Structure 1
Amino acid sequence: MSSPPPRPPGRAAVAFVFVTILLDVLALGMMAPVLPRLIVDFEGGDVEGAAAITGLFGFAWAAMQFLASPVLGALSDRFGRRPVILLSNLGLGLDYVLMALAPNLAWLFIGRLVSGITSASTSTVVAYVADVTPPEQRAAKFGLLGAAFGFGFIAGPALGGLLAGIDPRLPFWAAAALSLGNAAYGLLILPESLPPEQRARFTWNGASPLGAMALLRSCPALLGLAGAAFLMFLSQESIPSLYVLYTIQRYGWDEAAVGLSLAVAGAGSMVVSVALTGPAVARLGEHRAMAVGLVFGVAGFVLVALARTDWLFLAAIPLLSLSALTGPALQALMSRRVGADEQGRLQGALAGLRGITGMIGPVLFTQSFALGIAPAAGLDSPGLPYGLAAALLALSLVLAWRITRVEGVQSDAEPAPTTPGE
């Protein structure tokens, strides 16, 4: 799939990369209410066995993200963003076709592995945005990407559940149509964003997860910010890993209340990402906007951990929504520390960090929840996992603030000069 000569991306091309993120997350969200049901069917109605297999599916998907994201990011640094994005969209669409036709659990598992690889192109999409956006505007654009994630996670499960009511395989076909249609559209309108003279040499050592982490060690500021990002990613895993169990056990909510509260939380994060991130960064600078978001996140998790009533729990949702300021500002700070030929590797490394937390987080938070409510432990502390999340986010705040103060990573800083191919 050859790339046309690079030219300044127009609005249609920039909109395409946002739509790519949206459709990827929408398709993934559509799987949420469907995949466990299919696994139960393949297991002959054995819910207990299906629960264990569902956990294995989730772990395997995160592992593929960890392995594939740095590779795709490095490939995009070498061959350009366009071919990687388009081939990933094509592969994801074909994979959903495979899952729609899967005759047994083994084929469904293979499809899930492939989707973990092909959906790892998110790092390349973020690198595309970094290529075409001035450094001072990146945080706002990254915030829009966060809004696309939020909308996809809100609308995806609802749409998947609606389609599954017609046919349990229909969400897979719909996801395939979205991904294949996006690939065909991108083939027509998506220009390349990375000129040949700014591309890096590809090596498997540099593209491996450990090699990608080496990039994060290339300067103290980047390593420190990567550590802050890791702690932030890990704390965020407490929501998808535990939210349903936590609200049912502590507040006695039913499925409708859980779904509605998740929709409100997602909508709040979207509003912050779209409407507040850009103005906050313009007024405060990237490092202060990041710190403000982390402070709101710590306060939100502390309130969740201590809330004995559901009304106090609901009061934490606006605080957690405001923590959406953190991610875009932190990404923008890190993108300033590498050159144009390393943006793909950087975003791949960050996606790899998220993959690691996706493997650790579900075990960490569910086990701490079990310890908090276990009669034998005598803690009577169901909020223990969210207290842990608050502590992780507080450590992220201390580390990130210290790095930005000591290293001078300010919103008006320029990236250190690099030589393409280094």
Structure 2
Amino acid sequence: MEKLSGLSHLFMTIFLHNFSTFMLIPAITDVTMSALCPGRDQCSLAIYLTGFQQAVLLKVKRRISSHDHGSFYSATVDPSSVVVIGLGTLVTMPLIGNMSDKYGRKALLTVPLSLMIVPSAILAYSRTRNFFYAYYVARTLIAMLSEGSVHCLALAYVADNVPESRRASTFGILSGIASSAFVCGNLSTRFLSTPSTFQVSASVAIAALVYMRLFLQDSIIDEQLTTPILTYKGIGKGKGKANEQLVTPILTYKGNGKGKGKANAGCCANEIPSKDVRVFKSAPSLEDMLCLLKSSVTLSQAAVVAFFYSLAEVGLHASLMYYLKAQFHFSKDQFADLMVISGIAGTVSQLVIMPILTPALGEARLLAVGLFFTCVHVFLYSIAWTFWVPYVAAMFSILFVFSQPCMRSIVSKQVGPCEQGKAQGCISGISSFANVISPLVFSPLTALFLSEGAPFPFPGFSIMCVGFASMIAFIQSLMMRTAPPIANQKVINSNYVDA
């Protein structure tokens, strides 16, 4: 409990950030439709803009986004540009994670928390067509750089400060905090006008940034500083002591004498260079990521699970609300009700049930349980025959929310303390790449089967295809072999030694 109390400032930061983000979800529907297609209930442009934005947003948790449905008109989006953006996020997430291993989690958290204020502030000022397009462009560009990075860095922060035996439960608590913010954000939207919703969201986003900067202590591994910006150069016995608390210098360390080896003491102490060393570059290449994944069968299997889980997750985001609008004429209030039900169930599960089940079942089994009920949840949506079925499906959140915390915990145990950010960023990058592919497949499929020209009468067909993607993730999780955790050494040698 002492360790969890030490994470209280992180939990508050995550709560405020997610509260600010999630309270916009029910409100953005009316703003989008009023700006793009005023006076209409159907708008294909909304579907394709949603699909484009989903392709560049990294959704690290399963959440329901609310947009109205549209029919299949002639609006198109350039797939090549989306793929380029997605490949960019594939690099961005490992880069952010890797830089946080060097510069600290707090410094990197400042960037996304600052940037995420801008979109809310734009719509807080005005919600006319021009301002909506400004919001859309700003939101998309900022998402390319920072969406999902807050959760990724929070996971690395928890891994820095929590022992492996309690890491999965703490990841669940972190997700539970986000779920509670999700519930509170959606409930607050019910009592606020549309202008006030965006004003409050921008204010809370600013509060999250200020709170984090004032109160959050940066991660410390083995009570040592991990990040010198500049290296020390010197000759002599005493020089090494100047750096004996520094783990990973950004620039080359050069020195002679007995103190030399102490420059790299700490979590990477087992890798003491005998010659000049060029430390692993801040931007990991695709080859570096592949080496990291190949270093562990468990990591490779977790990457496959993350890919198909995200493929299904974003596919559901891009399709569900359009489907419910077409089938049962759901509106903003029904969407908010679904979100609140899902959020409350997920919060109770992650804060109460998951800490009890994790020691009894283990992370791998709990991951499989979560993915199985993800499949059930999605398939139930796809065959919904009456208006109350989606509410029942939303209650399955109490079981499928196990997936993400368990998967992240398994990943964190396969790398040493120096590579937590890199590993979590790598998995997030793979998930973001799935986010690129998913809307390109499911958005047109949804629009087609909701239109009058559908090949056969099955409006939920695209959601059933989403269920098949989640089933692949479930099958892969059954074959996952969890390797023993790595204590202090790095998985791959990221240094390049001169001959």
TM-score range with shorter-chain normalisation?
0.7 to 0.9
Worse overlay, 20-29 or 269-278? 20-29
Query: For structure 1, which runs of at least 5 residues remain unmatched after alignment?
Result: 1-8
- The Cα of 1:322 is off from its aligned counterpart by 0.7
Number of positions where the alignment pairs a residue of Structure 1 with one of Structure 2: 405
Which AA in structure 1 matches 2:142? Answer: V
Match of 1:6 in 2: none
Q: Deviations over 1:348-382 (max 9, x none)?
A: 11222232233333333333333444554442112
State the TM-score, normalized to the length of structure 2.
0.71
| Cα distance in 1 between the residues matched to 2:290 and 2:182 | 28
Candidates 385, 393, 396, aligned match of 2:470: 393
Change (3 A) 1:166 1:104: closer
Given that residues 379 and 467 in structure 2 are in contact (C-alpha distance below 8 angstroms), is that contact kept between their aligned partners in structure 1? Answer: yes
Candidates 258, 264, 267, aligned match of 1:198: 267
Instruction: Note if 1:255 corresponds to 2:279.
Output: no
Match of 1:3 in 2: none
Given that residues 89 and 183 in structure 1 are in contact (C-alpha distance below 8 angstroms), is that contact kept between their aligned partners in structure 2? Answer: no
Match of 1:183 in 2: 212
Query: For structure 2, which runs of at least 5 residues remain unmatched after alignment?
Result: 59-85, 227-265, 272-278, 495-499
- The Cα of 1:169 is off from its aligned counterpart by 5.3
Candidates 464, 485, 489, aligned match of 1:414: 485
| Cα distance in 2 between the residues matched to 1:37 and 1:414 | 48
Match of 1:111 in 2: 138
- The Cα of 1:105 is off from its aligned counterpart by 6.0
| Cα distance in 2 between the residues matched to 1:136 and 1:337 | 13
Match of 1:142 in 2: 171
State the TM-score, normalized to the length of structure 1.
0.82
Given that residues 70 and 209 in structure 1 are in contact (C-alpha distance below 8 angstroms), is that contact kept between their aligned partners in structure 2? Answer: no
Change (3 A) 1:214 1:39: farther
Q: Deviations over 1:2-32 (max 9, x none)?
A: xxxxxxx955541122222222222222343
Instruction: Note if 1:24 corresponds to 2:17.
Output: yes
| Cα distance in 1 between the residues matched to 2:122 and 2:286 | 27
Given that residues 212 and 349 in structure 1 are in contact (C-alpha distance below 8 angstroms), is that contact kept between their aligned partners in structure 2? Answer: yes
Alignment of 1:2-401 (within 5 A): 11-33=4-26, 51=46, 53=49, 55-62=51-58, 63=86, 66-93=90-117, 104=131, 108-109=135-136, 111-112=138-139, 113-114=141-142, 116-119=144-147, 120-159=149-188, 164-167=193-196, 170-171=199-200, 173-186=202-215, 189-194=216-221, 195=224, 196=226, 197-198=266-267, 201-206=279-284, 208=285, 211-212=288-289, 214-401=291-478
Worse overlay, 291-300 or 264-273? 291-300
| Cα distance in 2 between the residues matched to 1:351 and 1:392 | 18
| Cα distance in 2 between the residues matched to 1:376 and 1:383 | 15
Q: Deviations over 1:270-323 (max 9, x none)?
A: 211111112111111111111122222222222222232233443333334311
Worse overlay, 304-313 or 47-56? 47-56
| Cα distance in 1 between the residues matched to 2:467 and 2:122 | 40
Q: Could you say what the CA RMSD is over the residues aligned between the two structures, in angstroms?
A: 3.4
| Cα distance in 2 between the residues matched to 1:65 and 1:99 | 25
- The Cα of 1:251 is off from its aligned counterpart by 2.6
Secondary structure of the corresponding residue to residue 415 of structure 2:
coil
Given that residues 371 and 470 in structure 2 are in contact (C-alpha distance below 8 angstroms), is that contact kept between their aligned partners in structure 1? Answer: yes
- The Cα of 1:133 is off from its aligned counterpart by 1.3
Worse overlay, 40-49 or 56-65? 40-49
Change (3 A) 1:363 1:157: farther
| Cα distance in 2 between the residues matched to 1:65 and 1:152 | 26
| Cα distance in 2 between the residues matched to 1:296 and 1:371 | 27
Q: Report which of the two structures shows the higher radius of gyration computed on alpha carbons.
A: 2
- The Cα of 1:143 is off from its aligned counterpart by 0.9
Change (3 A) 1:235 1:40: closer
